[in-house]
Structure 1
Amino acid sequence: MGVNTLSKSERLNSKIAIEKLFSGSAKSFSLFPLRVVFMQTAKKEGAAGASLLISVPKKRFKRAVKRNRIKRQIREAYRKNKHPLLNLLEEKEQNLMIAVIYLSNELISSAEVEEKLNSLLVRIAEKIA
């Protein structure tokens, strides 16, 4: 697997897992304009350390072009900053489901998205450590 990739196995796409994540037992916190919902799961063979779901509400951005831009920014920021978190999960032999939800009505720069997401990942790492 490449160093900074986001493979299919790292994406959260199981309806059952997503429902479990949003059922209320998961931890969450916000750092405007992002909100993160995460839940630790037992280590499964062949599963990536963390699986990611990105949500940009249609209510806030009617145009798919803008929603996709934000998703790309979040994916890129995660791809660059995921390694410390993945290393911690590897040590603890845990898996993690993460949902990132975009809260703002405004588009923001990629640098700002990256900075916010990085601090969210650091906070997640602190909470599971």
Structure 2
Amino acid sequence: KFPKAVHRNRIRRQIREAWRLHKHRLYRALKNKEHQIAFLVLYTATEPLPYPEIEKAMKQMIWRAEKKVGS
């Protein structure tokens, strides 16, 4: 999909940054529970997306995981 390494690396950096900024919400939800969660992030877009869209998707993923842990 992305023949140039510069594009692949940028996408990876953006995904890691979005996770770094928002993971605390999930950690807080898991703090006193006996749950473990593993994530696999698949980038399915055919072109590089702007960071705000990646961040929005990461927030939604974390929010969904929080809901599952809370119930």
TM-score range, shorter chain: 0.7 to 0.9
The corresponding residue for 1:71 is: 12
**2:29 maps to 1:112:** no
**How far apart are 1:93 and its partner, in Å?**
3.0
- Scaled by the length of structure 2, the TM-score of the pair is 0.88
Q: How many residues align?
A: 70
Question: Once superposed, which parts of structure 1, at least 4 consecutive aligned residues long, lie more than 3 Å away?
Answer: none
- Scaled by the length of structure 1, the TM-score of the pair is 0.51
**How far apart are 1:94 and its partner, in Å?**
2.3
SS at match of 2:46: coil
**2:42 maps to 1:92:** no
The share of aligned pairs that are identical, in percent, is 39
**How far apart are 1:101 and its partner, in Å?**
0.8
CA displacement 1:27-57 (0-9 Å, x = unmatched): xxxxxxxxxxxxxxxxxxxxxxxxxxxxxxx
**Structure 1 CA distance for aligned equivalents of residues 39 and 29 of structure 2:** 15
**How far apart are 1:105 and its partner, in Å?**
0.6
**How far apart are 1:61 and its partner, in Å?**
1.1
- Is there any run of 5+ residues in structure 2 with no aligned partner, and where? none
**2:62 maps to 1:121:** yes
SS at match of 1:115: helix
**Structure 2 CA distance for aligned equivalents of residues 107 and 72 of structure 1:** 12
**How far apart are 1:128 and its partner, in Å?**
2.3
SS at match of 1:100: coil
**Structure 1 CA distance for aligned equivalents of residues 69 and 3 of structure 2:** 36
Structure in which a larger fraction of residues adopt helix? 2
